[in-house]
Amino acid sequence: MKREVNVQAAANKFLAQMSGNLGAYMEACVKCGLCATACHFYEVSQDPKHTPAYKLFPMARAYKRSKPPMSWFGGAPKITEADLRHWEELIFDSCTMCGRCTQVCPMGIDISSIVAASRQAFAAAGLGPEDLRMAAENVRDRGSPLGVTPSVLEDRIEWLEDEEEIEIPIDKASADVLLTVSSIELMKYPDSVVAMAKLLNHAGVNWTLSSKGYEATNFGFLSGKSDIAKLSIERVVAAAEAVQAKTVVIPECGHAFGVMRWAGANILGRPLPFEVVHITEFLAGLKREGRLKLKTLSKSVTYHDPCQISRRGGAADAARYLLEGFATDFREMYPTHNHNWCCGGGGGVQAMKRATNLRHQVFRIKMNQVEDTGAGSLISACANCRLTMDESKEHWKWDKGLDSLVELLAENLDDTTQH
Ligand code: SF4
Ligand code: SF4
């Protein structure tokens, strides 16, 4: 059934966000087209509609209509329902908000932030992929995009503790560190939760999970629902304040890290009462302090930089520091670090069923990168990238290994020197 579209609500939302950087970006594009070469969607499709600058259009039209000289003469043409329907796929399905285009843009235009703001306007109009909208509503109503309620969390943790004979503290009265988890890990990759627990216990960290605020991902942000984005952050803040944690650790999830670390305070409307660190940064800190004792890993591996951890997160070196001296046959892929290619599933694209084929096409870039290194296995520090790559691996019947970094580290802990 075709949904009703509230075009005026979209136009209002576009204009409401038009201050600071966003307004400047609307004026700055010189239409050079350089950004096309940086975008994985354009790279695989060669379709001009996948040029990043094209995604500016809906917001630029709303902007031009409101500014002189166009506003003196009744404004530029209005944004229409047909425009919104045409651009919906470009704003959601074919932008992972990876930020790669910004690196080549001579004007430094942050397309990713324009896409995030545009998604809010599309959501206000009642548009956006159904599955992404439902994931956000699940967050609001049940606590997580995959429906992991506090009681499901407690059951899962109890099961993992029994199964793995490991202590996973939840709802301690106080702790230095609040660990968050993503529901992808809880439901699809529970070994990753066990691995984080093993590593933190091994290093003697005073940490806990909390049933008040456990979900790291922020589907409110990804779907353009700013009220749900704020609610997600408030839950984690309440949980951290309840246990007086001064550090919140974000698990293997790129966008969870990016949203909380770089947008969290703005969304919340006040400074975050804790430091936000990605699990790779936290473990790198433990290694630096001599609290993480590891055996060595001899198989050949390469590392996929999750966009929101490396390029947009500023934490590309943490994973490499962890791999240093541990992975004895580590091979960098090219391009790497902040220039690495996206997996194709960031920005909520992984959750959009209708984008599946496009994602699989994008993954061919990653397959080529890995093949060129000759490594037998690909390491990821993001469960969302991992799920995207797992599904595409299966689609292409690609036989390379795919490992979680925390799981590899936990499997190779040297417990003879346990704290
Ligand atoms: S942010 Fe990434 S996915 Fe989006 S347009 Fe730019 S390069 Fe493409
Ligand atoms: S590279 Fe920058 S200035 Fe050039 S078309 Fe793309 S967004 Fe516009």
Q: What is the DSSP string of 2-65?
A: PPP--HHHHHHHHHHT-SHHHHHHHHH-----GGGGG-HHHHHH--GGG-GGGGGHHHHHHHHH
- Predicted pLDDT of residue 418: 47
For the Cβ of 107 lying below 6 angstroms from any atom of ligand 2, the answer is yes
Do 15 and 114 lie in one domain? The reply is: yes
Q: What is the CATH number of the domain that holds 343?
A: 3.40.50
Domain ends where: 128, 144, 166? 128
Task: Tell me the CA distances in angstroms from 29 to 13, 221, 281, 283, 344, one per residue in order.
Answer: 21, 25, 35, 41, 25
- Predicted pLDDT of residue 4: 84
- Residue 397 corresponds to which amino acid? K
Do 271 and 366 lie in one domain? The reply is: no
Q: Is 402 exposed, middle or buried (0-12, 13-18, 19+ CB in 10 A)?
A: middle
Do 143 and 237 lie in one domain? The reply is: yes
For the Cβ of 358 lying below 6 angstroms from any atom of ligand 1, the answer is no
Domain ends where: 96, 128, 160? 128
Tens-place pLDDT, residues 236-256: 999 999 999 999 999 999 999
1 found inside a domain:
no
Calpha distance 358→119 (Å, rounded)? 19
Contacts 24+ apart (CB under 8 A), 284-288: 284/317, 284/318, 284/319, 284/321, 284/322, 286/199, 286/203, 286/205, 287/321, 287/322, 288/321
82 found inside a domain:
yes
Do 141 and 268 lie in one domain? The reply is: yes
Domain ends where: 70, 97, 128? 128
Which has the closest alpha carbon to 143: 208, 214, 192?
214
pLDDT of residue 197 exceeding 80: yes
2 found inside a domain:
no
Q: What would the mean pLDDT of 162-174 be, rounded to a whole number?
A: 97
Do 183 and 270 lie in one domain? The reply is: yes
90 found inside a domain:
yes
- Predicted pLDDT of residue 107: 96
- Residue 64 corresponds to which amino acid? K
- Predicted pLDDT of residue 79: 85
Confidence of residue 417 (pLDDT cuts 50, 70, 90): low
Calpha distance 269→259 (Å, rounded)? 14
For the Cβ of 115 lying below 6 angstroms from any atom of ligand 2, the answer is no
Q: What would the mean pLDDT of 184-197 be, rounded to a whole number?
A: 96
3-state helix, strand, coil in the chain (%, to 5): 55, 10, 35
Do 257 and 353 lie in one domain? The reply is: no
How far is the centre of ligand 2, averaged over its atoms, from the C-alpha of 175 (Å)? 47
For ligand 1, mutation pick of 92, 111, 342, 361 (most atoms within 8 Å of CB):
111
Q: What would the mean pLDDT of 326-352 be, rounded to a whole number?
A: 97
Ligand nearest to the CA of 112: 1
The atom of ligand 2 lying closest to the CA of 32 is: 4
Q: Are 287 and 279 in contact (CB under 8 A)?
A: no
Q: What percent of the chain has pLDDT over 90?
A: 87
- Residue with CA closest to ligand 1 atom 7: 39
Do 391 and 362 lie in one domain? The reply is: yes
How far is the centre of ligand 1, averaged over its atoms, from the C-alpha of 373 (Å)? 25
Do 281 and 138 lie in one domain? The reply is: yes
Contacts for 165 with CB less than 8 Å, ≥ 6 apart: none
Do 46 and 122 lie in one domain? The reply is: yes
- Predicted pLDDT of residue 68: 60
Give the domain range for residue 348: 292-417
Which has the closest alpha carbon to 135: 220, 212, 216, 214?
220
CA 230, 232, 234 angle in degrees (round to 5)? 70
339 found inside a domain:
yes
Q: Strand, coil or helix: what is 264?
A: helix
Calpha distance 157→164 (Å, rounded)? 10
The lowest-confidence range among 19-33, 189-203, 362-376 is 19-33
Do 54 and 175 lie in one domain? The reply is: no
Give the total number of structural domains in the chain: 3
How far is the centre of ligand 1, averaged over its atoms, from the C-alpha of 182 (Å)? 24
Do 54 and 94 lie in one domain? The reply is: yes
398 found inside a domain:
yes
Which has the closest alpha carbon to 221: 88, 119, 129, 306?
119
Q: What percent of the chain has pLDDT over 70?
A: 96
For the Cβ of 34 lying below 6 angstroms from any atom of ligand 2, the answer is yes
107 found inside a domain:
yes
Look up the pTM and report it: 0.95
Q: Strand, coil or helix: what is 181?
A: strand
Q: What would the mean pLDDT of 273-278 be, rounded to a whole number?
A: 98
Q: What is the CATH number of the domain that holds 27?
A: 1.10.1060.10
Do 304 and 236 lie in one domain? The reply is: no
pLDDT of residue 43 exceeding 80: yes
142 found inside a domain:
yes
- Residue with CA closest to ligand 1 atom 8: 39
